[in-house]
Structure 1
Amino acid sequence: MNHLVFVEQLTPDGEVIHRHKLTQLPIRIGRAYDNDIILDDPHTAAHHARIEHNQLDELIISDLDSFNGITRANSRQGFFVVDGDAVYRLGHTRLRIRTPDYQVAAEQTDFTNHRWEGVLPALAGLVLLVTMGLLTTWLSDLNQGTLSKYLLELVSVVGFALGWSGFWAVFSKLFNGQARFGRHLFIVSLGLTGLELWDYLSSMLAYAFSWETLAHFTVHPLIFISATTLYFHMRTAGNKRPGRLKLYLLALALVGSGISMTKQYQATNHLGDALYLSQLYPPALRISSDISLGEFMADINALQTQVDGNRKDTTDKDEAVATSSNAATSSAGASSDASSSSQP
């Protein structure tokens, strides 16, 4: 029977490996060489499945009494009515079956700026790196620095960015066929700039508004900025599952934040990586209202009461331990004296 059918072999991620165009029904599938579609999968039978019309003129895929059978969405049955969006698993082989009347999805908008490639993003990234390197070195230089100090800072930052971009360019070349070194250099430049800007901006905001949380948890935004940078690297390298990639990187960032808080808690009994505002700026940057002397003294008295209570509890515990130790020592001495007196 003449009937145009397309059978697609898919990867576990849903990418099409090969598309078979067949015009005759039934279509036989298996490892044997007399099949219409020959599978290179040891987990499939020599004659595994057949695509044909049933009595209701429905296109079906049916199992030919194979050992592993046919499954769809983890459900195994003897036959399935063909659905163009369903994936059928035969052993380790994934198949999708479609006919010419299948309605494909609408065209997606291409947000890729193909002109932003090569030398232009590479130069933009280098200019950004040099500017941020000089600026951060100047801001952190309390004394009059020498030229070699600034050059050493620039060489280290630019060298890291070039090496990192080179790694991703090789990765992109292997898996996507295009290196896109300039785009990767621009991405890592934006990432490093974002890390530096957040470091300064968060400390300034914490000082200006007395937002101590920004000072206590400084590492977690840096983790999420790094995860965002990795996302754009992998998208540039050719990843075609942005939704799944976002979930993976979000989970990785959350795990990293959890590990950081766990290490801080084990070391200091606090979840934050800083206990106080360590960065001070000119008073002109203060925006939050000042605390009166009375409020300050009330906070000091409350803190003193809490410290005295903790100290008293510690002292009572130490005295109880010492009393228990002395009682145990006296009891042991009395037992020893009794034992000595009982001997002839």
Structure 2
Amino acid sequence: MNQPVFIEQLTPDGEVLHRTKVTHLPARIGRAYDNEVILDDPHTAAHHAQVELNQLDELIISDLGSYNGLALGKNRERFFVVDGDHIYRLGHTHLRIRTADYPVAAEVSDSTNHHWEGWLPAFTGLLLLLTSGLLSTWLADLNQGTLSKYLLELVSVFGFAIGWSGVWALFSRLFNGHARFGRHLFIVSAGLAFLELWEHGSGLLAYAMSWESLQTFSSHPMIFICAVVLYFHFITAGNKQPKRLQLVLAAIAILGSAIAMTKEYQASNHLAGELYMSKIYPPAVRISRDHSLEEFMTDMEALKEKVDSARKTEPKE
């Protein structure tokens, strides 16, 4: 053998768990301790497979008579000619075999913002929480509450954000090796700020433009904002399948919206979360045109005819 062979054990997603350098062939693979590559998989045999050169000087991996055999995708054969891009399955173990001259991909550009670490994102997140929390409490405060009321609101929001970020930091530490508590705190703070902004902004815009659906269906954009927050948490925690993660979270958000509308329909026979616009703002905020009394009475007559018709057609209880 002119060059060493590297046998890699992979996760189901293709991540390398362990890489073994083999300098002589044949090299056996299995659970027995006299193998060149030792597996910790009860679904593999003591001597499961072997990497060797065939008569054509081709590198092959062959089955040694194991019960579960050797597979490439859905194909199960006694042996395969090795391709560095193929992943072979032995029991529940995924293997990839490459030689020293295998061409690796070009260096990937480091797009990570290493300056956005530690206290900078954490301080920015706390500032966002402070601003959005005070603004939300002030907008909802009709009776000019005391300072203790504002402090209680801030403490509850801070406690939730710090606890939530701590859980994600622990998750990141376990699976990525880096806690990144500051980034997680910024993500949850930005998410809460966007939720507050949407809650107040959607009501204001709905009143100003007479777009009732912005307020009556306001819970659905909140579900998607939460899905976006979860996406950035997972990416920060080290998820390496962003496309798959986007599809999963989008499906969960759509399912959540469908469940919410179903519950509302069962409760009130309407898909909207609110039947009417519950937030009223000063008339000066209005941008849409005013409607005359004649238009209002015409709409009421049409509604009256509809209600009277429904009463006549429905059976009496």
Q: Distance in 2 between matches of 1:134 and 1:254?
A: 32
SS, match of residue 188 in structure 1 = helix
Partner of 1:177: 177
Select between 142-151 and 196-205 the one with higher mean Cα deviation.
142-151
Kept after mapping to 2: 8 A contact 1:71/1:77? yes
Cα 1:93–1:310 change in 2 (3 A) is same
- Please report how far the alpha carbon of residue 266 of structure 1 lies from its aligned counterpart in structure 2 after TM superposition: 0.9
Partner deviation per Cα, 1:288-320 (whole Å, 9 max, x = no partner): 334444443333222212111111122xx22xx
The Cα offsets for residues 42-71 of structure 1, whole Å up to 9 and x where unpaired, read as 211222212223344432222222211111
Please name the residue that 1:135 is paired with.
135
Say if 2:182 is the partner of 1:190. Answer: no
CA contact (8 A) 1:3 1:25 kept: no
TM-score if structure 2 supplies the norm length? 0.92
1:54/1:60 contact within 8 Å kept: yes
User: Which segment drifts farther, 28-37 or 69-78?
Assistant: 28-37
- 121-130 or 287-296: bigger deviation: 287-296
Matches within 5 A, 1:275-286: 275-286=275-286
TM-score normalised per structure 1: 0.86
Deviations 1:212-244 (A, max 9, x none): 221221111111111111222222222222222
SS in 1 for 2:296: helix
The residue number in structure 2 matching 1:166 is 166
Q: How does 1:196-211 map to 2 (within 5 A)?
A: 196-211=196-211
Displacement of 1:199 in angstroms is: 0.8
CA distance in 1 between counterparts of 2:15 and 2:212 reads: 48
Amino acid at match of 2:89: R
CA drift at 1:94: 0.7
Q: Secondary structure at the match of 2:138?
A: helix
Tell me the CA shift for residue 100 of structure 1: 2.5
**Deviations for 1:254-303, whole angstroms, at most 9, x for unmatched residues?**
22212211111111111110112222223333333344444433332222
Question: Does residue 88 of structure 1 match 2:88?
Answer: yes
Q: In 1, distance between residues paired with 2:87 and 2:245?
A: 22
Which residue pairs with 1:334 in the alignment? none
Counterpart in 1 of 2:155?
Answer: 155
Larger Rg: 1
Q: Does 1:14 align with 2:14?
A: yes
2:265 corresponds in structure 1 to: 265
Q: Is the 8 A contact 1:68 1:90 kept in 2?
A: yes
Q: Which runs of 5+ in 1 are unaligned?
A: 322-344
Shift of residue 169, structure 1, vs aligned partner: 2.1
Question: SS at 1:24's partner residue?
Answer: coil
Report the CA distance shift for 1:9/1:218 in structure 2 as closer, same or farther (over 3 A). same
- SS of match in other structure, 1:76: strand
Aligned partners of 2:290 and 2:240: how far apart in 1? 53
**Residue of structure 2 equivalent to 1:124:** 124
* 1:100 and 2:100 correspond: yes
Distance 1:70 1:187 in 2: 45
Q: Which amino acid aligns with 2:69?
A: G
Question: Residue 131 of structure 1: SS of its match in structure 2?
Answer: helix
The runs of 5 or more residues in structure 2 that have no matched partner are none
- How do 1:176-325 and structure 2 match up within 5 A? 176-314=176-314, 317-318=315-316
The 5-angstrom pairing of residues 64-79 of structure 1 reads 64-79=64-79
CA contact (8 A) 2:3 2:100 kept: no
Residue 147 of structure 1 aligns with an amino acid whose one-letter code is L
Greater shift in the superposed pair: 245-254 or 181-190: 245-254
Structure (1/2) with the larger helix percentage: 1
In the other structure, the counterpart of 1:336 is: none
What residue identity is the alignment partner of 2:241?
A: R
Aligned residues: 317
> How far apart, in 2, do the equivalents of 1:106 and 1:295 lie?
68
Considering only aligned residues, what root-mean-square deviation do their CA atoms show, in Å?
Answer: 1.9
Determine if contact 1:10/1:95 at 8 Å carries over to the other structure: yes
Identical-pair percentage: 68
Shift of 1:137: 1.0
Q: Please say which of residues 168-177 and 218-227 is displaced more in the overlay.
A: 168-177
Give 3-state SS (helix, strand or coil) of 1:21's partner. strand
Letter in 2 for 1:80: F
CA distance, structure 1, for counterparts of residue 45 and residue 255 of structure 2: 43
SS at match of 2:154: helix
| Contact 2:32/2:47, CA 8 A, preserved across alignment | yes
Q: Relative to structure 2, which stretch is displaced further, 221-230 or 104-113?
A: 104-113
Moved more, 153-162 or 249-258: 249-258
Counterpart amino acid of 2:79?
F
